């Protein structure tokens, strides 16, 4: 995936976030449930804000 994060939609699925984080989809669900990856629900669907994901990545850089 050679795309700029700004080219992605404002709201991501868990699968899309997993690709960005280079994790398996199933691995991404656990930190989402625990609140380590900020997310929200729309019905049965979990969505992750692109902006919040960017903040998470920036805050966890060494």
What are the tens digits of pLDDT across the range 23-56?
Answer: 999 999 999 999 999 999 999 999 999 999 999 9
User: How many folded domains does the chain comprise?
Assistant: 1
| Sheet with 45-49: strands ordered across | 11-12, 45-49, 40-42
Tokens of 61: 């850089």
The mean pLDDT of 5-20, rounded to a whole number, is 91
CATH code, domain carrying 32? 1.10.10
More confident residue, 9 or 61: 9
Domain containing residue 48: 5-59
Q: How confident is the model at residue 8 (pLDDT cuts 50, 70, 90)?
A: confident
- What per-residue confidence (pLDDT) applies to 61? 73
pTM of the complete model: 0.84
* Closest to 50 (Cα-Cα) out of 3, 13, 1: 13
């Amino acid at each position: 995936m050679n795309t700029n994060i700004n080219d992605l939609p404002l709201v991501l699925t868990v699968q899309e976030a997993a690709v960005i984080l280079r994790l398996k989809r199933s691995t991404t669900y656990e930190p989402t449930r625990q609140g380590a990856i900020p997310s929200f629900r729309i019905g049965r669907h979990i969505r992750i804000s692109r902006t919040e994901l960017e903040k998470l990545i920036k805050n966890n850089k060494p």
